[in-house]
Copies of this chain bind each other. A is one copy, B any other.
Amino acid sequence: MKRNFADWPCSVARATQLLGDHWVPLIMRDAVQGVRRFDDFQRSLGVARNILSDRLDRLVEGGLLERKSYQDRPPRSEYVLTEMGRDLFPVLASLAAWGDRWLDGGSGAPVALHDETRGHDMRASVVCAECGEPIRLADVEFRVGPGYPDEVDAHYDLRPRLAPSPQK
């Protein structure tokens, strides 16, 4: 990835900088399903070892995975989700629900998320935590947020298309 989106004034861009490569969502899918070891990721995804190694390094640097030694001779590590990595699971669940709706070829979800605690299959839905209503594009006005940097390179400044913030 040549460009650096990490300092763009946009959380989608910042997240994309970490996750943008098409292998990364699949590595994270494997990780939430319990895969931890390099060879298991490699077998599961059929990805070249150098690419997998690079993407795992990136996820460790980014804070989503933690490298833990499980064997000394020869030295072997496994990759364990951090709190930040586990917190991505709801995003993956909402992406999977979108795929279940639009890309299932009419045959239903290939993988079901079963809620063991409550005893039913989950249906991921993105709601507003303030009012509990589903988030819909039709309701949204995009505003300059509290964390919008004061100085932003003109070519990626979003302010011309955002509504002003009441606070800022």
Contact = CB atoms under 8 A, between A and B. Distances in A.
B95 A91 contact: yes
Contact of A11 (B34, B99, B142): B99
User: Closest 7 A-B residue pairs measured CB to CB?
Assistant: A20-B22, A11-B99, A108-B147, A90-B126, A108-B146, A107-B147, A109-B145
Contacts of A98: 11, 15, 87-88, 90-91
Interface of A: 1, 3, 5-6, 9-18, 20-22, 25-26, 29, 32-35, 43-44, 46, 63, 81, 84, 86-105, 107-118, 120-137, 139-149, 155-156, 158, 161-163, 165
How many copies of the polypeptide does the oligomer hold? Answer: 2
A129 B125 contact: yes
B145 A34 contact: no
B16 A111 contact: no
Contacts of A121: 130, 143
